[in-house]
Amino acid sequence: MHANVTSGAVLGVEAYRIEVEVDLGQGMMVFSTVGLPASAVCEARTRVKSALVNCGYGFPQCRVTVNLAPAHIRKEGTGFDLPMALGILMAERKLPSEALADTLVVGELALDGRVRGVRGILPLAAQALRLGLKRVIVPRHNAAEAAVVDDIEVVGVDHLAECVEILTGRAQPIPVPAFEEPPPEEGAIDLRDVRGQAVARRALEIAAAGGHNLLFLGPPGAGKTMLARRLPTIVPPLTFPERLETSIVASVAGLLPADRPLVAQRPFRAPHHTVSGVGLTGGGSLARPGEVSLAHNGVLFLDELPEFRREALESMRQPLEDGEVVIARAQATLTYPSRFMLVAAMNPCPCGYLGHPRRSCECHPGQVQAYRNRISGPLLDRIDLQVPVDPVDPRSLRAEAVEESSATVRGRVLAARAIQEARSGTGRCNAHLRPAELRRYCVLDARADAFLTRAMERLDLSARAHDRILKVARTLADLAGRESLLTADVAEAVQYRQLDRGASAGARVVARAQP
C-alpha cells in the first residue's frame, strides 16, 4: 500500500517541494527513511511512531519505507514528522486518499502527538502558492506567518489528532486571526539626544542617504555607540518587497515572532565581539543565516571593532561586496541575502585616548599599530566613511540649544534617496552603484579629477577606495540636490578615509597624533 504527501524543505532561503512517499510492504517490522535524510529527519521515525501510537492510531505491523524525493536534496529539520505520520495513516486507509490533494504539510511532532512550530514556514507557504497548491497545513504556532502569503488557505493545527479530524471532515479548522500591523515605534530614541558631534552626525546622514558603510573612531564616552544606534531612526522605511525578504530570513532563522509575522522595522543587529565566523556569516552544521543576513535590508553594528575575531571579520568581506553569502556544503550550496549597512565603532588605540585634547595616551606607537592592524586593509577598504569622533565639548552637553531631530534629518535622507531612484530606477542606492553606473553618474570636471588623482597618490589609496570616494561624493551632491560633482564633494569624501591610507601614510598619521 502506498501514499504520497507533499511537503517542503528550505535550502538557504529557497523553498523546495519534497514528496513524502510512504510504502507499507510485506516483511519484517522495519521503519526506514531514504532520500538523503539528515540526522534530525532520521530521528523523525521515533517521534512519528510514538505520536501515532499515543494518539490511538497504532503503528503498522509491517515494513514501512518512507522516501523523501527528490533524493539529491539533503533533507534537514523536523518538519517532515507530520507529513510522514499522515502518509502512514493514508497508506493504511485510515485517511481518504484525496484528503491531502493540493496541500503542502509541514510540522514537527511531539511524542504525544502535539504539533510543534518549525523554521522557514514563510518561504514554504510562498513556494506552495508558486507551485499552484491550494492549501498549507502548518503548526498553529506558525499559522500567522503562513497567512502573510495571500491567496492560499492556511490550516494551523496543534495536534495530530486535530489534523486527522479536520482531514476527515469531523472538525472545522480554527480560523487564523487576521494579521494586524503593529503601531509604528517612534520617539524612543532620537538624534536629538546627541549633543554636538556635528561631523559624526553629518557622516551618519551621508551613510543613511547613500547606504554607505561607516566607522566611528574616538575616545570612550564620546557618543559613538549612541550615534550608531540612532541610524535606524533616519533611514527610509522598508518597502513591502524588503519587508518580505527580511521576514523570510527571520523565518528561516526561526526568529519571526508568532504574532508579528511580517517584519516592520529595518533590522538592527549588534552581535557581541565574541561572535564566531559562522555566527557572523552563517552556515555551520545546522545551516543558519548569520548576523550579516539577519541584518539584511538593515544595519549591522559592530561595536569595539578590533575586539572581534579576525577570521570572523574577514568572513564578512564577500557578503559586504556581493550582498549575499554563498555557503558551499557537500550536498548543496546555500545562499542567504546580506545587503546591509555596516556601522562599526572603535577607539583610536588600546587605552582609548590617542589624539585626545585633554588626556594623554599611554600606548606605545607599536601597540597602536598592532591594535589597528587587527582590522585588515581589505575590510577598511570597504568602509566608505571612516570618521573621527572627538570628545564631547562639556559646554554643549548642558547647552540650551535644541539639536536637530531624527525626523528632520530623515526628510533630507528621503529626498536624497528619491534623487537616486529617479536617476537609476533600480532601487539600489549610491553605495551599490555598478561600474557602468559609476562611470555614468560620477563624472568629474578637470579640477576635481586632478584633485582625486593627487589624493590617491599621496594617501596610497586603492582602486576600490577610488570608486568608493566617487560614490560618497555622489551622495554628497545628492544631499545638496545638485547634479554635478564639485571638487569640494570629492575633498569631503577623501576626508572620510582616515584609516585606510597606505602603510607609509598610515604610519605618518599615527606618528603625528602621538603627543
Ligand X SMILES: Nc1ncnc2c1ncn2[C@@H]1O[C@H](COP(=O)(O)OP(=O)(O)OP(=O)(O)O)[C@@H](O)[C@H]1O
Task: Please list, in sequence order, all residues whose beta carbon lies within 8 angstroms of the beta carbon of residue 210, skipping any fewer than 6 positions away.
Answer: 384, 416, 420, 429, 430, 431, 471, 472, 474, 475, 478
| SS3 state at 250 | helix
Closest CA to 38 of 332, 375, 436: 332
224 is a contact residue toward ligand X (CB under 6 A): yes
Q: Which residue is nearest to ligand X (CB)?
A: 223
Q: Which does 96 bind (CB under 5 to 8 A by kind): ligand X, Mg ion, none?
A: none
270 is a contact residue toward Mg ion (CB under 5 A): no
Q: Which does 481 bind (CB under 5 to 8 A by kind): Mg ion, ligand X, none?
A: none
403, 194 Cβ separation under 8 angstroms: yes
Element housing 410 (H / E): helix 406-424
Closest CA to 238 of 181, 193, 322: 181
Cell of 506: 598610515
Closest CA to 283 of 323, 333, 320, 322: 333
225 is a contact residue toward Mg ion (CB under 5 A): yes
Question: Distance (Å, rounded) from C-alpha 435 to C-alpha 131?
Answer: 37
68 is a contact residue toward ligand X (CB under 6 A): no
CB of 401 to ligand X, least distance (A): 12
Question: Distance (Å, rounded) from C-alpha 472 to C-alpha 492?
Answer: 9
345 is a contact residue toward ligand X (CB under 6 A): yes
Contact window for ligand X (CB under 6 A) among 180-188, 213-221, 412-420, 432-440: 213-221
Closest CA to 237 of 179, 184, 293: 184
Q: Which residue is nearest to Mg ion (CB)?
A: 225
* Pairing state between β 108-109 and 115-116: antiparallel
Residue 339's φ and ψ, nearest 5 degrees, are: -95, 100
Contact window for Mg ion (CB under 5 A) among 74-82, 224-232, 244-252, 266-274: 224-232
Binding-site member from 4, 67, 225, 424 for ligand X (CB under 6 A): 225
Cell of 210: 547613500
220 is a contact residue toward ligand X (CB under 6 A): yes
Binding-site member from 226, 231, 344, 349 for ligand X (CB under 6 A): 226
498, 217 Cβ separation under 8 angstroms: yes
Question: Distance (Å, rounded) from C-alpha 402 to C-alpha 408?
Answer: 13
Is the CB of 79 or the CB of 223 nearer to Mg ion?
223
* Pairing state between β 31-34 and 214-217: unpaired
347 is a contact residue toward ligand X (CB under 6 A): yes
Q: Which does 222 bind (CB under 5 to 8 A by kind): ligand X, Mg ion, none?
A: ligand X
302 is a contact residue toward ligand X (CB under 6 A): no
Question: Distance (Å, rounded) from C-alpha 166 to C-alpha 140?
Answer: 14
Question: Distance (Å, rounded) from C-alpha 6 to C-alpha 103?
Answer: 7
Binding-site member from 124, 392, 419, 476 for ligand X (CB under 6 A): 392
Contact window for Mg ion (CB under 5 A) among 53-61, 225-233, 383-391, 487-495: 225-233
Question: Distance (Å, rounded) from C-alpha 48 to C-alpha 59?
Answer: 9
CB of 400 to ligand X, least distance (A): 14
Is the CB of 195 or the CB of 317 nearer to ligand X?
195
Is the CB of 52 or the CB of 392 nearer to Mg ion?
392
233 is a contact residue toward ligand X (CB under 6 A): no
Residue 295's φ and ψ, nearest 5 degrees, are: -90, 5
Q: Which does 444 bind (CB under 5 to 8 A by kind): Mg ion, ligand X, none?
A: none
Cell of 171: 472538525
The DSSP secondary structure of 199-238, one letter per residue, reads HHHHHHHHHHHHT--EEEE--TTSSHHHHHHTGGGTSPPP
Q: Footprint of ligand X on residues 176-205 (CB under 6 A)?
A: 194-197
Q: Which does 430 bind (CB under 5 to 8 A by kind): Mg ion, ligand X, none?
A: none
Element housing 89 (H / E): helix 81-91
Q: Which does 197 bind (CB under 5 to 8 A by kind): Mg ion, ligand X, none?
A: ligand X
CB of 303 to ligand X, least distance (A): 6
CB of 345 to Mg ion, least distance (A): 5
150, 178 Cβ separation under 8 angstroms: no
Q: Which does 82 bind (CB under 5 to 8 A by kind): ligand X, Mg ion, none?
A: none
Residue window 143-182: x/- pattern of binding to ligand X, with contact defined by CB under 6 A = ----------------------------------------
Is the CB of 122 or the CB of 387 nearer to Mg ion?
387
The residue count for binding ligand X (CB under 6 A) is 16
Question: Distance (Å, rounded) from C-alpha 66 to C-alpha 61?
Answer: 15
Q: Footprint of Mg ion on residues 167-186 (CB under 5 A)?
A: none
CB of 512 to ligand X, least distance (A): 22
167, 86 Cβ separation under 8 angstroms: yes
Contact window for Mg ion (CB under 5 A) among 59-67, 100-108, 221-229, 234-242: 221-229
Residues forming the site for ligand X (CB under 6 A): 194-197, 218, 220-226, 345, 347, 392, 397
Positions in the binding site for Mg ion (CB under 5 A): 225
